[in-house]
Amino acid sequence: MLVVLTPSALSRKAALGGVRSYAAAANYTALQCKRFHPTYAQIDADLEVHRKLGTHLNATKFIDSHLSKRMSGLTVGFFGGRAYLLTPTDFPALSHHAKLQAAYIRQLLHIEDTFGPHVPDVAFVVTTGDTPKHCSTHVLNVSTPRPYNFKGTGCSHSAGFVPGPYPVMGIGKSDWWPDLMLIPNFHFHSRLYDTKTLGLVKEYAAMPWQQRKPVMFGRFSRYHMNRAAVDASTYKAGLGGRQICYNGNKTCPTRVEFIQQIADKNHARIDVSTRAKQPMKTHAEYKYLVNLEGQGISSRLEQLLPLGSAVFKQASGYYAYYYRTLLKHRVNTIEFWREVPEEVLAELDWAAAHDSDVAAIAAAGVKLAQTYLVGNGRTCYWFRLLHGLAGALSYTPQLSQWPAARPLRQVLERDMAATPEGREAYAVPWAP
């Protein structure tokens, strides 16, 4: 049973100092956080550079003042078990990102309500951008000798520059940004994932495997992938290895390339386009579903896994919080485009010749989502991440370091109601 921490209980326990071990929190057991242990390896990977170089207050202040707006970010933190907005934020200026940040604000308050004084004191920036925007620690970091040479780094030189690692959290990254800490996608919350997606697994399963069409299906918007020109891990070649990226190699039209060069030339086996969106129930009529990356990672993957079809996932170099710990080629997904897009044709040939194996892959994808991508798993992931980050800080975080800080609950209930944009963001559906 989940233990509900009331505001008065929070205050009493915080005044006593609280218990700081994550495992000591009653709700760590109630939520069965140990069950989601396989996902926590990504936390250790993300924190490696923080633990090696240390995360400093001046780097936190820099990323807040110079980059939070560019990254559609909120600088937030926990002190005494309470969540705070640490610097004022212009929610109307965030445009549609205000809705995305509202989901994270509610999630942080959910963590406050769930774990209270067991949440360590910590400050960080939560971003809702598709790809990281800050200076990579591969080229400049706290150990880099001065004066800093910005030439060819891809880093924006601004007055008072302070190198990372930075305490930045976001939905996706590549290895070019080792310090970015991955967090579950905001769409899990606003799309009510546990009920609206996982809750329909039985309905999707009503379509037997043998009655599903042996065709690859997908519908997508026309997003182009964004990347850092110096990041080899996210480079994508087109058909036959041809160059397709433009804008100084920073933009790659991967979806357009796949549709025009692969799907449009193989209509008998591939039905993938940018035509009108189709409901997930229609997707479940096909044996093979494709996930093409957008500007960065595509949250469509979480929607496809529970459908009972085999998900063919484009390799892009970008990854979300669960990709590297849970996704396995020809186990619960089928990966392609490690080098060129036509790899998908060979994978479709393999699938046609190994139908029972592909059915097992589809079933494993459903099990993965039902086991690990649930609300409790995401809440536990956040809690473990906050504890991990707190242990990597090179300073003692104090609320007094942020004189403009305000309780996050007050921001949600009062500030967001003060503007039309804020009220619209407040009204977005949410679940843990």
- Indicate whether 289 belongs to any domain: yes
Cα distance between residue 429 and residue 109, in whole Å: 15
- Indicate whether 297 belongs to any domain: yes
Verify that 336 and 230 share a domain, yes or no: yes
Domain boundary among 331, 355, 372: 372
Verify that 368 and 387 share a domain, yes or no: no
Does the pLDDT value for residue 16 go beyond 50? no
Identify the pLDDT of residue 256.
Answer: 97
Does the pLDDT value for residue 34 go beyond 80? yes
Verify that 137 and 238 share a domain, yes or no: no
Verify that 402 and 295 share a domain, yes or no: no
Verify that 261 and 169 share a domain, yes or no: no
Verify that 32 and 110 share a domain, yes or no: yes
Percent of the chain with pLDDT over 90: 83
Verify that 334 and 411 share a domain, yes or no: no
Verify that 25 and 36 share a domain, yes or no: yes
Characterize the bridge pairing of strands 310-314 and 286-291.
parallel
- Indicate whether 123 belongs to any domain: yes
- Indicate whether 169 belongs to any domain: yes
With the C-alpha atoms ordered 176, 43, 303, 364, is the resulting torsion angle positive or negative? positive
- Residue with the bigger pLDDT between 217 and 426: it is 217
With the C-alpha atoms ordered 141, 146, 150, 151, is the resulting torsion angle positive or negative? negative
How many structural domains compose the chain? 2
Confidence of residue 227 (pLDDT cuts 50, 70, 90): very high
- Indicate whether 356 belongs to any domain: yes
- Residue with the bigger pLDDT between 362 and 277: it is 362
Verify that 163 and 123 share a domain, yes or no: yes
Domain boundary among 348, 372, 396: 372
Verify that 175 and 312 share a domain, yes or no: no
In whole numbers, what is the pLDDT of the chain averaged over residues?
A: 93
Lowest mean pLDDT, pick from 145-149, 377-381, 410-414:
145-149
Does the pLDDT value for residue 14 go beyond 60? no
Domain harbouring 283, CATH code: 3.40.50
Q: What is the pLDDT of residues 375-401, one digit of tens each?
A: 999 999 999 999 999 999 999 999 999
Tokens coding 29: 């057991």
Does the pLDDT value for residue 214 go beyond 70? yes
Q: What is the pLDDT of residues 272-294, one digit of tens each?
A: 999 889 999 999 999 999 999 99
Verify that 337 and 401 share a domain, yes or no: no
- Indicate whether 150 belongs to any domain: no
Domain boundary among 352, 372, 392: 372
Verify that 23 and 47 share a domain, yes or no: yes
- Indicate whether 432 belongs to any domain: no
Facing residues of 77 across strands? 84, 123
Give the structural domain span for 222: 198-319+323-372
